[in-house]
Structure 1
């Protein structure tokens, strides 16, 4: 297993080289400039859409705008915001957080383009049901000669949306913050606990995903807002208690981003880990979020693109920043422990009274990881349906539930290496197809914003 973990980490390091960093960050800059920063000027309108002002029950699709964003956020607001930030700081130092911010700022434009396309180029699966996502964008928008690119995304997406990171880190934090301190589990031999907890989690996940995408959307729209509010409340307590220290650590994030004094690897190493963990956090340019937004009930593709662009702001600029500041304020990142979610749990346990911090972060991780696993099943099933036919994709539920159990007992290095490699392979077809179809997005955007400015933003009028 150790050899496998090392091999997966080596593959991840190779794939996340300079070309991919340029593709994601440079691509986001291109989309921002190409759109003349229009999406950034319509945040208020995006919030109005999210609140249901433009919802129509008869529109095609499965999810409301709010449900689509909640489903997408339940996939991104998870381990990327807790374990991912901890790994970024542990490996890349405070400066890695700055490059996570960069992915979020340019990711606003990227998500506007990718998720507008996800609705614009929806296509039928083998059952005749209309679906969205990069594989359908490529097939419907670019034609048969690009079909290999669509297959590449679906194959990589099938791996990238496995629940192994979420259950692995959930099992770890529950074990180390609740059961080990209570003397119920031997910290040196956790296999039996990991297996039992994996079986329990698999039963819970199965109870949700066997209800289909509408149940996932229903659960997500109720879990996501509450979990964000709870987590933000916890971090706010910590940040307010140390408010005089915040400017110093914010400055450290910025200066360390260009000097890389906190870790080895130099500037390129810090940028790479920051962009990698930022992509894992907000998924801008990766393509998974486009599958959720592609299911939105709307006849206006640009409208869903505007809703989608709120994602990077919420999950990276807000939630990840709060996690990072808590870790930096407590100083736990300097002890050399880079073991993912344990670093975040240690930070909260160190600064909040008694066992409240440890138990509270365990509960938050439970909600975050669970909601992500619910959503990732939907993504994986769509990828499998594209590859072998939608009439067979229902079998994926059983495989997915089994992977929840296996992820609970796998080593951290192996699961992150596997998922990071798949994310890199997903980004290539997503970004290439978005570059090629960007003119169509801008044509639709000019039309929509022109109608919006004269009060006729609904195509029904």
Structure 2
């Protein structure tokens, strides 16, 4: 008995030390230098383009209604590629991630999420345009692309190490551990099921969807994502209307909290502006993945004659997932008095906020929507991480990476949500660096094609 207690004590100590180590690494990699790199890259691209892509957003929305271009490479329609990418961003990052941002950085973190998303749009324009310029034919599977292919095909063999760096951390950053952890928390909070049951169900659904390849993934996302997003926004809008009298105070808190964290709703004593900004930037990047490069894996599958078109379509992503979904999530949390007054974290905080405003029906409906959101994200991430593994290890070995991915899904309920999201944060930071380097070095390629395309397109 004493031996068992000793072993358990060792395990607890190891887990606590591991969590502290993850927290330390997050602080190191997400310091001012990386945030400055993201901002500086965005500023350079904004200056280089003279903001032109932003003026063609109406054209980008029109492209979504083209079923599939007759000419060009790729297998997915613009709509299919965008919804596949959104399947990886609209989900736990916009819901649980926002709740964590508010709990760590106060309401002011939302302001910096908005700013980061606006800047991130131009990075997505460049990275996704490049992913359609530099992609590779892999036979029956069609054309594949992503930042690792952009680096090796665009910059050459001297930068092969950089492409491997991106794909290695892509395997880690695109693990579905945070999504599975939060989904299990919701399902287990509503039932007496053993903790491994939700994991088994999740694994089965992911495996069945991925068996159909990228086409089935695109079909799944293009059908379910609008339904899920629409239902969630209806719930959020209902709660906002119920608490309409608080909207003015919430808005003031967001803007004041951005520059004075202690004055914000949920402000943490001693929190600095630096902490609020970095929290907002991290959560925005986790939400819309701008700068990380994961979205290039989805957008590179688009069938298009003009890569610039897919770059424009990709710019819609941050608008929908950060400016719409994240804002809606923040408003429903801030419309309650829960922030700073509950032990619930992440997804459970959102569920508690909805249950408080819509007692009885809110929690049950939300559980169903959360489940689909999380499943969509994990399916997309499984595709992303497997694609990175196939590049890093080669096709023969990389195809088995999915089993490692599913194994971590199985044990994810036993993780701390802060540790799970911390591991993703670290990997995302280390993916961002090679992605930004390739974007800066290959920016002239996009600028040349952009000027030709906009000239032929005519006035906006």
Instruction: Report whether the alignment pairs 1:51 with 2:65.
Output: yes
Cα shift readout 1:342-398 (whole Å, capped 9, x = no counterpart): 11111101111x321111221111011000111111111110111111233321232
> How many pairs align?
441
Match of 1:78 in 2: 91
Q: Within 5 A, what are the aligned runs for 1:255-266?
A: 255-261=256-262, 262-263=267-268, 264-266=270-272
Q: State the distance in 2 between where 1:438 and 1:256 align.
A: 36
Deviation, 1:413, is 2.4
Q: Is the 8 A contact 2:389 2:399 kept in 1?
A: no
Q: Secondary structure at the match of 2:302?
A: coil
Out of 143, 155, 163, the position equivalent to 2:168 is 155
Deviation, 1:316, is 0.2
Match of 1:136 in 2: 149
Match of 1:221 in 2: 222
Q: State the distance in 2 between where 1:338 and 1:426 align.
A: 31
Deviation, 1:229, is 0.3
Q: Extract unaligned runs of 5+ from structure 2.
A: 1-14
Match of 1:451 in 2: 456
Q: State the distance in 1 between where 2:39 and 2:122 align.
A: 11
Q: Extract unaligned runs of 5+ from structure 1.
A: 186-192, 456-461
Match of 2:249 in 1: 248
Q: Secondary structure at the match of 2:373?
A: helix
Q: Secondary structure at the match of 1:337?
A: coil
Match of 2:206 in 1: 205
Taking structure 2 as the reference length, the TM-score comes to 0.93
Q: State the distance in 2 between where 1:29 and 1:200 align.
A: 44
Instruction: Report whether the alignment pairs 1:282 with 2:288.
Output: yes
Q: Secondary structure at the match of 1:367?
A: helix
Q: Within 5 A, what are the aligned runs for 1:80-119?
A: 80-119=93-132
Match of 2:429 in 1: 424
Cα shift readout 1:18-69 (whole Å, capped 9, x = no counterpart): 011111233223222221111110111001101117x324532121100000
Q: Within 5 A, what are the aligned runs for 1:40-439?
A: 40-52=54-66, 55-124=68-137, 130-176=143-189, 178-179=190-191, 184=192, 193-261=194-262, 262-263=267-268, 264-337=270-343, 339-352=345-358, 354-439=359-444
Q: State the distance in 1 between where 2:301 and 2:140 align.
A: 16
Q: Secondary structure at the match of 1:330?
A: coil
Higher mean C-alpha displacement, 393-402 vs 276-285 = 393-402
Deviation, 1:195, is 1.4
RMSD: 1.7
Q: Is the 8 A contact 1:101 1:317 kept in 2?
A: yes
Q: State the distance in 1 between where 2:39 and 2:187 align.
A: 35
Match of 2:10 in 1: none
Q: State the distance in 2 between where 1:72 and 1:337 align.
A: 33
Cα shift readout 1:98-141 (whole Å, capped 9, x = no counterpart): 11001111111111111111111113459995321110000011
Taking structure 1 as the reference length, the TM-score comes to 0.92
